[in-house]
Every structure is written in C-alpha cells, then in structure tokens.
C-alpha cells in the first residue's frame, strides 16, 4: 500500500520561515542546531533537507550513500557482522527517507526506510544517524516525516532497547519481550493511534 499523499519524490526543509529567525527548520518546525557538513566541517545553522523517495527514484550514488552509512554504523561501529543489503531496499512500495545538507542530497546525514507489511501496515527500520551528526534532532525529523507518510495506518518497528523511550514519544508501545538481535537488546514496538 502506498500512502495516499504520495506524489513522487518530495523534499522538505531549508531556511526558517521568518526574517527574524532565519535558522533552518526541522519537519516539526523546530530550529535545527549545528549539523555536520561534507569534509568534516561543523557549521552552525546548516540548512538540511528531508528527502522521501521510492526505490525507482533513488540515484545509484544516493542508494550507495544510504547503504554505506548503514554499514558504517551497524556493521563497523556497533560491531554487527551481518549482510545489511537484504533485498528489501528495492522492493515496490518501500519508502526511503534521508536527511542531507541542502544542495547535497547524496551526502546522507541520517536515514530510515519504511517497508509495507503483509497486513497492510508499515514497518520502520534501519533508522541511522552518522556519528558526526548526532544530537541535532535528525532522527526525530526522520520519524516525523515517516509518520506523516504513513498516516494513521498500523506501524511497527524493532527498537534497540536503549532508545525505546524515543520511539514511545511518537506513540509506540512495547509489545512482547526483549530479544537479542546481532547481540544488541531490542524490543518490538507498535504505534498506538488514538
């Protein structure tokens, strides 16, 4: 199932809405802080853009950048030796969301993917932020964007246990017992739409 609002690749973000406060804004409208920019330079008030694309709308270099960031964090940093390219990234109906510096869409700072579930719901997964870009609210912007795409449809995710409160802030509740995935404690969570 594709969200009803889907109309192809959308890009959000950019400068603030008023001349009095020109800081870049997140999807939720809050000012973004300092962000990491290509070349390792930290630039305060760097404008970022949230991208949404189906697999057939991704350039080869953007797909490579998404997969590379996931490998850098999940395989190298977290020490989980597994095959991240699982064949699902290119399935019809999948949505990829990522944040990049404005004007540099192939420099991925944070990303996630949304997979259609057999029951008509959605699964959010592979939520990742580059080490240098953490602490700037990018994961919150991604989740806000993903949930805007999903709407009120059922949604699940497998959260690393230490960030379950983060997902709870979006209405997700733990369902079931904690389990180990690649040696890291996880919990299954389901969004409760009230």
Per-residue pLDDT in tens (0 to 9) along the chain, 194 residues: 333 332 233 333 333 333 343 333 344 444 444 444 445 444 345 789 999 999 999 999 999 999 999 999 988 888 887 777 888 899 989 999 999 998 888 899 999 999 999 888 999 999 999 998 999 899 999 999 999 999 999 999 999 999 999 999 999 999 999 999 888 899 999 997 77
Q: What is the DSSP string of 5-59?
A: T--S-EEEE-S-SBTTB---B-TTSPBP--EEETTTEEETT--EEEEEE-GGG--
Task: Answer for the pair 97, 48: CB distance below 8 angstroms, yes or no.
Answer: no
The per-residue pLDDT for 147 is 96
d(CA 133, CA 100) in angstroms, rounded, equals 10
The per-residue pLDDT for 45 is 52
List, in sequence order, every residue forming a beta bridge with 179; answer none if it has no partner.
186
The per-residue pLDDT for 54 is 95
What predicted TM-score, i.e. pTM, was given to this entire model? 0.76
């Amino acid at each position: 199932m594709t969200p009803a609002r889907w109309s192809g690749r959308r890009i959000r973000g950019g400068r603030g809405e008023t001349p009095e406060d020109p800081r870049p804004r997140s999807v939720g409208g809050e000012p973004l802080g300092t962000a990491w920019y290509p070349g390792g330079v930290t630039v305060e008030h760097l404008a970022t853009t949230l991208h949404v694309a189906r697999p057939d709308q991704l350039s080869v270099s953007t797909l490579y950048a998404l997969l590379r960031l996931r490998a850098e964090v999940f395989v190298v940093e977290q020490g989980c030796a597994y095959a991240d390219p699982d064949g699902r990234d290119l399935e019809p109906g999948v949505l990829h969301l990522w944040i990049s510096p404005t004007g540099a869409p192939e420099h991925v700072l944070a990303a996630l993917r949304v997979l259609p579930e057999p029951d008509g719901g959605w699964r959010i997964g592979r939520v990742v932020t580059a080490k240098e870009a953490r602490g700037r609210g990018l994961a919150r912007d991604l989740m806000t964007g993903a949930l805007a795409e999903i709407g009120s449809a059922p949604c699940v995710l497998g959260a690393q246990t230490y960030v379950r409160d983060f997902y709870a802030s979006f209405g997700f509740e733990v369902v079931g017992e904690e389990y180990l995935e690649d040696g890291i404690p996880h919990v299954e969570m389901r969004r409760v739409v009230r």
